[in-house]
Amino acid sequence: MKKKSSIINHQLSIRMLRVGVFDSGLGGLTIVKALTEVIKGAEIFYVADTKNAPYGEKTPEQILQYSLDVTRYLVEQHQIDGLIIACNTATSAAVKQIREAYSSLVVIGTEPGIKPAFEQTQTGKVGVLATPATLKGEKYQKLASDLSKKQEVTLFEQACPGLVEQIEKGEIDTEETRTMLENWLRPMRESDVDTIVLGCTHYPLVSEVIEHVMQRRLNLIHTGDAIAQYSLALSQEYGHLNEGDLDLKLYATGEISKESVKHIFGKVLKVETIVL
């Protein structure tokens, strides 16, 4: 990505970097957790749009509007320098429009890790767990099609309606969640799938359950660490020194599981309710 202005370089060298991150709920916190492990001297503002969750079962038009509303809030209220769309579904529906509407903002999207999955599979069988909207999205469809033409890999695509809601309720390892995953994963297990793309930022929170159901060692592909490293490299290009304290502020537009937040970060964190 090209530098947008030398002014940004100067600004970031004299003050803290401001990064906005959003998702429909808890899932994007898996990316925020990865960010907190590599980025210093920054303010991170996370918005969980739980009032409108889950995005994956909404129309593209609804997802676009929600995404624009959150972005406007982060820009106007927190004067962010960069935005991470910590949601595959929102990226597919809104990243282009957000970049057009906020041309001076550095915008990083999230996409399912199809490419690394193709590179890591040994059996040539790759599973993709995602929301219905992500699997139907033009960006995902094109990427999967292009990669399949270059390498002979069998894709097992599975939409997971209701899984985000289970995770949002904190039901990570309940009988209902295990049953849902068993039904979705059985064909992958029986077909010798060895690599599964977690195509929603919520899904890493049920990684252990997925591995238990699959009954084998797996390559579980999710994008949190990669996005954190890319964000750090990009911020340094813009003059960020990556020194000093990190300030994390969490916001939600509706109910959110405080216990799940604690589970992700290992400690209790304050979550402020906002109205967009």
The residues that are catalytic are 87, 200
How many whole angstroms separate alpha carbon 272 and alpha carbon 254? 10
Question: Which pair of tokens denotes residue 40?
Answer: 């210093």
Task: Give the Cα-Cα-Cα angle 129, 111, 20 (nearest 5 degrees).
Answer: 120
DSSP 29: H
Cα-Cα-Cα-Cα dihedral sign, residues 153, 221, 225, 144: positive
At residue 236, what is the residue type? Answer: Q
Q: How far apart are CA 34 and CA 177, in angstroms?
A: 25
- Phi and psi at residue 227, in whole multiples of 5°? -65, -40
Q: Output phi, psi for 10, to 5 deg.
A: -65, -45
Identity of the amino acid at 235 = S
